Structure 1
Amino acid sequence: MQKPAFSMPTAYTILFALLVLVALSTWVIPSGAYTYEDGVPISGSYHSVEPQPQGIGDVLKAPFAGFGDAVDICVFILMVGGFLGVVMHTGAIDAGVATLIAKLGDKQRFLIPILMIFFGLGGTCYGMWEETMAFYPLLIPVFIATGYDALVGIGVILLGAGAGVIGSTVNPFATGIGSGFAGVSLGDGLMLRLAIFVVLEAIAIWYVMSYANKVYKNPVASLCKSMAPVAKTTDTPPPLTHKQTFVLALFGLTFATMVYGVIPFEDLGVPLPTLHWWFPDLAALYLVMGTVVGLVSGLKEEQLTKTFVDGSCEMLGVAFIIGISRGITVLMRDGNITDTVLHWGEEALSGASSITFVLLVFAIYLPLSVLIPSSSGLATLSIPILAPIGAFSGVGGALIVTAFQSASGLVNLITPTAAVVMGALAFGKVPYDKWVQFVWKLVLGYAVLIVGFLAVGTMI
Structure 2
Amino acid sequence: MSTEAPAPAPADPGPAPGPAGPRRGFRFPSAFTVLVAVTVVVWGLTFVIPAGRYDTKDGAPVPGTYHAVAPVQDFWSRLKDLFLSPVNGLYGVTDAHSGLTAPGGSGAFFGAAGVFLFVLAVGAFITVTLRTGALTSGVSRLATRLRRHRTLLLVVLLTLFSLGGTTYGMAEETLGFYGIVVPLVLNLGYDRMVGATVVMVGAGVGTLASTVNPFATGVASDSAGIGTGDGIVLRLLMWAVLTALAAAYVVRYANRVHADPSRSLVPPADGDGGPDAEEAAPLTARQRVVLVVFAATFAFMIFAVIPWTDLHVPFLPTLGWYFPELAALFVVAAIVVGLVAGLGEKGTADAIVAGAGDFIGAAMIIMLARGVTVIMNNASVTDTILNGLHSVVSGTSSGVFAVLMFLVNMPLAFLVPSSSGHAALAMPILAPLADFAGVGRALVVTAYQSASGWVNLVTPTSAVVMGGLALAKVRYDRYLRFMAPLMGVLLVAIAGFMALGAVLD
Alignment TM class, shorter chain as reference? 0.5 to 0.7
Give SS of 1:412's match: helix
Q: CA deviation at 1:158?
A: 4.2
Supply the distance in 1 between the matched residues of 2:24 and 2:244 (Cα, whole angstroms): 41
Matches within 5 A, 1:358-377: 359=400, 362-363=403-404, 366-367=407-408, 370=412, 373=423
Tell me the equivalent position of 1:242: 285
Tell me the equivalent position of 2:181: 146
Tell me the equivalent position of 1:125: none
Q: Which moved more, 1:374-383 or 1:245-254?
A: 374-383
Tell me the equivalent position of 2:208: 162
Tell me the equivalent position of 1:274: 318
Tell me the equivalent position of 2:103: none
Determine if the alignment matches structure 1 residue 38 to structure 2 residue 58: yes
Using structure 1 for the length normalisation, give the TM-score. Answer: 0.68
Q: Structure 1 residues 233, 25: CA separation in 2 closer, same or farther (over 3 Å shift)?
A: farther
Q: CA deviation at 1:263?
A: 2.3
Determine if the alignment matches structure 1 residue 90 to structure 2 residue 135: no
Q: Structure 1 residues 27, 150: CA separation in 2 closer, same or farther (over 3 Å shift)?
A: farther
Tell me the equivalent position of 1:29: 49
Using structure 2 for the length normalisation, give the TM-score. Answer: 0.63
Residues 362 and 404 in structure 1, CA contact (< 8 A), matched pair in contact too:
no
Supply the distance in 2 between the matched residues of 1:239 and 1:100 (Cα, whole angstroms): 10
Give SS of 1:322's match: helix
Matches within 5 A, 1:390-429: 404=444, 407-413=447-453
Matches within 5 A, 1:103-114: 103-105=145-147, 106=150, 107-111=152-156, 113-114=158-159
Tell me the equivalent position of 1:50: 70
Residues 74 and 319 in structure 1, CA contact (< 8 A), matched pair in contact too:
yes
Tell me the equivalent position of 2:191: none
Q: Structure 1 residues 234, 314: CA separation in 2 closer, same or farther (over 3 Å shift)?
A: same
> Percent of aligned positions with the same letter in both sequences?
31
Q: Structure 1 residues 267, 116: CA separation in 2 closer, same or farther (over 3 Å shift)?
A: farther
Residues 43 and 375 in structure 2, CA contact (< 8 A), matched pair in contact too:
yes
Q: CA deviation at 1:18?
A: 2.2
The one-letter amino acid of 1:4's match is R
Tell me the equivalent position of 1:225: none
The one-letter amino acid of 1:381's match is P
Residues 31 and 49 in structure 1, CA contact (< 8 A), matched pair in contact too:
yes
Supply the distance in 2 between the matched residues of 1:157 and 1:247 (Cα, whole angstroms): 21
How many positions carry a matched residue from both structures? 409
Supply the distance in 1 between the matched residues of 2:290 and 2:237 (Cα, whole angstroms): 40
Supply the distance in 1 between the matched residues of 2:373 and 2:355 (Cα, whole angstroms): 29
Q: CA deviation at 1:58?
A: 3.6
Q: Structure 1 residues 28, 111: CA separation in 2 closer, same or farther (over 3 Å shift)?
A: farther
Supply the distance in 1 between the matched residues of 2:393 and 2:123 (Cα, whole angstroms): 45
Q: Structure 1 residues 38, 360: CA separation in 2 closer, same or farther (over 3 Å shift)?
A: closer
Determine if the alignment matches structure 1 residue 383 to structure 2 residue 434: yes
Residues 55 and 65 in structure 2, CA contact (< 8 A), matched pair in contact too:
yes
Matches within 5 A, 1:425-440: none
Q: CA deviation at 1:244?
A: 2.4
Residues 83 and 289 in structure 1, CA contact (< 8 A), matched pair in contact too:
yes
Supply the distance in 2 between the matched residues of 1:358 and 1:449 (Cα, whole angstroms): 14
Supply the distance in 1 between the matched residues of 2:140 and 2:502 (Cα, whole angstroms): 52
The one-letter amino acid of 1:70's match is A
> Which of 25, 35, 39 does residue 15 from structure 1 map onto?
35
Give SS of 1:266's match: coil
Q: Structure 1 residues 266, 338: CA separation in 2 closer, same or farther (over 3 Å shift)?
A: same
Supply the distance in 2 between the matched residues of 1:456 and 1:92 (Cα, whole angstroms): 40
Kindly name which structure, 1 or 2, has the bigger radius of gyration based on alpha carbons: 2
Q: CA deviation at 1:344?
A: 1.6
Supply the distance in 2 between the matched residues of 1:308 and 1:196 (Cα, whole angstroms): 33
Q: Structure 1 residues 244, 326: CA separation in 2 closer, same or farther (over 3 Å shift)?
A: same
Q: Structure 1 residues 46, 72: CA separation in 2 closer, same or farther (over 3 Å shift)?
A: same
Q: Which runs of 5+ in 1 are unaligned?
A: 121-127, 166-170, 181-185, 223-228, 388-396
The one-letter amino acid of 2:336's match is V
Q: CA deviation at 1:327?
A: 2.9
Q: CA deviation at 1:142?
A: 3.3
After superposition, the C-alpha distances for 1:381-406 in whole angstroms (9 at most, x for unaligned) are 2233343xxxxxxxxx68xx798566
Determine if the alignment matches structure 1 residue 255 to structure 2 residue 275: no
Give SS of 2:309's match: helix
Q: CA deviation at 1:205?
A: 4.7
Q: Structure 1 residues 364, 92: CA separation in 2 closer, same or farther (over 3 Å shift)?
A: closer
Q: Which runs of 5+ in 2 are unaligned?
A: 1-16, 92-110, 183-193, 212-216, 267-271, 413-420, 469-475
Q: Structure 1 residues 328, 307: CA separation in 2 closer, same or farther (over 3 Å shift)?
A: same
Q: Which moved more, 1:68-77 or 1:357-366?
A: 357-366
More helix by share: 1
Residues 124 and 331 in structure 2, CA contact (< 8 A), matched pair in contact too:
yes
Tell me the equivalent position of 1:295: 339
The one-letter amino acid of 1:87's match is T
Residues 309 and 318 in structure 2, CA contact (< 8 A), matched pair in contact too:
yes
The one-letter amino acid of 1:98's match is S
Q: CA deviation at 1:377?
A: 5.1
Q: CA deviation at 1:34?
A: 0.5
Q: CA deviation at 1:234?
A: 0.8
